[in-house]
Structure 1
């Protein structure tokens, strides 16, 4: 595995402001030992801290009739992603890092991703956190670009598509289960104790994943945003999710 380590994230549209990128950088700096470069693929780098290198999101090159939403992460597999080299760890903007993430670069494997929590019998990974060698999986992107309608008909989104392709190639591996914890499934106490106990970090967790309608500010405030799983405020999130 290459010794050069690259942290990748992606920001487009208006859902997440630059503060998400800035906080993510701060968390990585605290919890990743040694040198790394931090790259944000984005359509707007305004307000992003200077330690972060902002680069354009590559064009998916799809017909105008096909929406890019839900598939943009596949552009991280460009054969030449802005000349970047090394081992890339992709992190979603709304994750919260709570412990050392150096082992994410040390675990053997050609492509590592979170194993789906809700349906663990499926091969599908959650692409909130995945690691790969830059330029090594250009065939995944090429396959999607060649037959995008077929991919969209058979798969819900990029993480299902890329998991299937890499699984069939024998290259798909998963992070140890405790490392990436679901906020919704693992941090919020079970009913009915969730009404009087605040969420907590599960044993062994290194990164908390916010999938669905809740994200870190919601966790801080105890907002469910309509999700059926009620959670009390978790003020301790502020210790980690900070610039």
Structure 2
């Protein structure tokens, strides 16, 4: 349980092999540099090997049902809506491991009421009131029906909503609230220069941004190796990337047009902020 009434609690989830322990270690470093203490980082994981000792690791609770089929939603995150979570009480801030914290995040803990669920607006569908859960704050145990209902009908809910964040947006008691627009930004939509300028210019941090998220890629480690994803070799030149449009095996996207658009240069501010 928190040992201090003003303890800031950050939680991340690490399962499988997509992100190694270095992602958790860097998250701890970023949080430490960008919150007013005291704080703790709780990692729910199926493999704590290599994670720095300052991180409070707990075994990732079981989802309790088979993962739905025919969906790309990250339904494993539904476990965060359980009645109890190891190492957490009160209010917690979840941050996806592939996020980069670029400024102080104290305001994420103080905005609104403790019972509120705050999410980012889904930037890909700005005209709809949809949440994006790369960064969200929630009262631990405050909406257990989200997990209970999912466990009762996982495939039905996945088929209806497609993405776990759409389900959360629709079913949180009292509705979700949105972070101020400037705080949480999407790398691909808000930072990356438009095509073809991204072949020559680095991505920029939008004014007022505190956390940059990377849903749908590219991931921070790939950006620093000048590639969109691991289909491409590291540090492929602009010309080689263009030539690769003819090679289905090394294209970063099956669609040739999207392949040409998916080029990214290493970014100085990621190297500056995304570190232990």
User: TM-score, normalised to structure 1's length?
Assistant: 0.92
Partners of 2:205 and 2:87 lie apart in 1 by: 38
Listed as ranges, the matches of 1:164-179 within 5 Å are: 164-166=170-172, 169-179=173-183
Q: Which residue of 2 aligns with 1:125?
A: 131
Greater Rg by CA: 2
Change (3 A) 1:239 1:154: same
Q: Which residue of 2 aligns with 1:38?
A: 41
Does the Cα contact within 8 Å between 1:184 and 1:229 map onto a contact in 2? no
Listed as ranges, the matches of 1:1-243 within 5 Å are: 3-62=6-65, 64=66, 66=68, 70-82=74-86, 84-109=88-113, 110-166=116-172, 169-225=173-229, 226=252, 228-243=261-276
Partners of 1:97 and 1:210 lie apart in 2 by: 12
Secondary structure in structure 2 of the residue aligned to 1:221: coil
Partners of 1:171 and 1:78 lie apart in 2 by: 18
Unpaired segments of 5 or more residues in structure 1? none
Does the Cα contact within 8 Å between 1:18 and 1:46 map onto a contact in 2? yes
Report the more deviating stretch, 172-181 or 211-220: 211-220
Post-superposition shift, 1:65? Answer: 7.5
Unpaired segments of 5 or more residues in structure 2? 230-251, 253-258
Does the Cα contact within 8 Å between 1:114 and 1:129 map onto a contact in 2? yes
Partners of 1:14 and 1:198 lie apart in 2 by: 28
User: TM-score, normalised to structure 2's length?
Assistant: 0.81
| Structure 1 segments (4+ residues) deviating >4 Å | 64-69
Cα deviation code 1:57-87 (max 9, x no counterpart): 111211x474697211111111111262121
Change (3 A) 1:65 1:26: closer
Cα deviation code 1:134-173 (max 9, x no counterpart): 111112111111221220110112111111112xx32310
Partners of 1:218 and 1:129 lie apart in 2 by: 21
